[in-house]
Structure 1
Amino acid sequence: MTLPHDDVNFGRMNGKGQGTINVAILGAGRIAQSMAKTLQLMAQDDRYSSLVAPYAVASRSMDRAQSLADQYGFARAYGSYDELLADPLVDLVYIATPHSLHMEQAIACMRAGKNVLVEKSFTANAEQAQKILDVADDTGLLCTEAIWTRYMPSRLIIDQIVSSGVLGDVTTISADLSYTTSYKARLTDPALAGGALLDVGVYTLNFIDMIMGAQEIDRMVTSMLPYETGVDASNSTTLYYPDGTMAVATSSMMCQSDRDGRILGTKGYAIVHNINNPEAIDVFGDDHDLQRHLHMPDQLTGYEYEVEAAARAILAGNKECLEMTHADTLRMMSLMDQMRASWHMQFPFEK
């Protein structure tokens, strides 16, 4: 389905620095479908309808691109990425492909004048991340990592709990995120930067980082259980901080877990239910008495927050989002590089 230009919200700023951002999706897999649904719902919601528009889908398969565009009301479908890059009406490209492709695709988008929202993990390693960010600096375009928990309202709620002092001094943090997903070929393929770490472990590390901030890590102890292809099937990492805080991150693609995050302090503790998409937070006192049960705000899908942040950053002329700065992305990628180095785990394209 292709609409004439007159039927498309062009996504250009008006004199007041306002406008509608035309969003395109590069890729047509599962997470692309989630984003397509999100953009469709945002276009129907008064809070977002004047901010973003579902504009285009590009895939190496025209049939897949057209099917996704038709299902979710996108104006255009492209059977190649080059066609998407050539479209002057694309303002923001959401990159929804395997980690190993992000660098090449993000750079190509920015060189074509498109802002980018790059799905986590941002790249396969910190070197690739730096190359993308160098191009962002060179072009002056927005480039941000789409790790949705950084943008969700739950982040501010957790910050408020910690800063309120109700937990006392935070001394221990733990986070686990595991799903039985080893049947997915991209997760077991080293050439696609597979493994639990870059797929789900990245959430556990970001959960800890959002609480600790940009603190240096004194010491790290980490290990992993390899899958038969050599990528990490399960992993566990303990981080020690200069202020005495200890944080433990575990993730796996071989089992199901409670997905909980725990923040333990001298006066009490908080349990965040599902760090991948927080559903509720329980705050306990020092006698294990439940003091507060906090439900998270209703959401469309949860992806709308990162899209909104990216669109507003573009309209403001910013190169990064405050929710996930370039420094945040580089710090997370460097940490995961250090973990993989400890495991003696390299991807084929890194050797």
Structure 2
Amino acid sequence: MKMAILGAGFIARSMSATINKMDEVTSYAVASRDYKKAEAFAKEFAFEKAYGSYEEMLSDPEVELVYVATPHSHHYEHVKLCLNHGKHVLCEKSFAINAKQTEEMFALALEKKLLLTEAIWTRYMPLRKTLDDIIASGVIGNVSMLTANLGYVINRVPRLLEPSLAGGALLDVGVYPINFALMVFGNDIERITSTAILTDKGVDAQNSITFEYKDGRMAVLNSTMMSQTDRLGIISGNKGFIIAENINNCERIRVYDLDQKEIACYEAPKQISGYEYEVRACIKAIQEGKLECEEMPHAETIRVMQIMDSLRKKWGVIYPGE
């Protein structure tokens, strides 16, 4: 399958390095608003073609699947552009800036009969199913508590500071703990409480979120762009607990008993970068004529965006145009 990259920034580099090592796809084209940047990028990552405009690349009939790698503040515009040119789309997280945009994007994809899915890589990782299987086995008993965190010292990254670029910790890193909780505990949430520290420009620098589930389970989630965290996801039961190391690209899962003795360890399989799983999921879905990936259905992306909308509303974080 001939794959194209829309945007030639940091995340595009990671994806390009990945697909270069995959047999299932061809590194076909890259587009940037700056042709020289696209040309240099294409040369570095062995793309067949470079384009100085997104529209020009999307008009190329050879392009089959487009990875949208621009900032999430631009996803709504760029994904619609891809769909209106008849291209299947894998869109980087966060999928959009709010649920309204998200629903419109999916509606257009369904109308055009094209695949559109969110590139939230945690949903596609092999260890996700392993985690489900461990919990289902009952080895840690009845599960009642989950904690997850993610944070990096990224508070000097310009796009994260600007409301006009949908900045803040929530959409950039907080989306991972939220997805982790929904993957493990599901959507049957009774109440969400939270608090956030805002920057001078009015985006969240760090936040803490608690999901209270109807059956009494709780998930406590933290994200920050001010500090480096341990990136752990911890799932606790009445017979032991599980530690998922690095929730946004799980490296291993450790299982402990009530005496805090490690009783099992599951290592992630060897991978290129982790991005290959979402690309393979797209290829499989397209070949099967599906319009969404089973690993990250449209409804789940919408649910995450709705949660983040409700959090931002409580904090008073409003992006221009909303």
* 1:191 paired residue among 164, 176, 192: 164
1:190, 1:231 within 8 Å by CA — same for their partners in 2?
yes
What does residue range 71-150 of structure 1 map to in structure 2 within 5 Å? 71-150=44-123
Instruction: Give, as a single letter, the amino acid of the residue that structure 2 aligns with 1:197.
Output: L
Structure 1 residues 234-280: Cα deviation after superposition (integer angstroms, max 9, x where no partner):
00000000111000110000000000000001110001111011111
1:261 equivalent in structure 2:
233
The residue number in structure 2 matching 1:311 is: 283
Aligned to 1:210: 183
Question: What SS does the aligned partner of 2:57 have?
Answer: helix
TM-score scaled to structure 1, two decimals? Answer: 0.91
Structure 2 equivalent of residue 55 of structure 1: 28
- Specify every segment of 5 or more residues in structure 2 that has no aligned partner in the other structure, as ranges: none
Ranges of 4+ aligned residues in structure 1 off by more than 4 Å: none
Paired residue secondary structure (1:243): coil
Matches within 5 A, 1:245-324: 245-324=217-296
**SS of the residue 2:205 aligns to:** strand
Match of 2:198 in 1: 226
CA distance in 1, matches of 2:208, 2:57: 40
Query: Within 2, Cα distance between the matches of 1:109 and 1:41?
Result: 25
The Cα of 1:92 is off from its aligned counterpart by 0.7
1:340 is aligned to: 312
Deviates more, 1:314-323 or 1:286-295: 286-295
AA aligned opposite 2:249: N
- 1:11-30 alpha-carbon deviations (Å, 9 max, x no partner): xxxxxxxxxx1110000110
> Aligned residues, how many?
322
Aligned twin of 1:179: 152
User: Does the CA contact (< 8 Å) of 1:119 and 1:147 recur in 2?
Assistant: yes
CA distance in 1, matches of 2:72, 2:84: 19
Code of the residue aligned with 2:283 in structure 1: it is A
Q: RMSD over aligned Cα, in angstroms?
A: 0.7
What letter matches 2:236 in structure 1?
L
Preserved CA contact (<8 Å) 1:310 1:321: yes
Give the 3-state SS of the residue equivalent to 1:329 in structure 2: helix
* Residues 188-223 of structure 1 deviation map (CA, whole Å, 9 limit, x = unaligned): 11101011000000000000100112x231011101
3-state secondary structure, aligned to 1:106 = helix
Aligned 8 A contact 1:268 1:286 in 2: yes
Residue identity matched to 1:223: T
TM-score normalized by the length of structure 2: 0.99
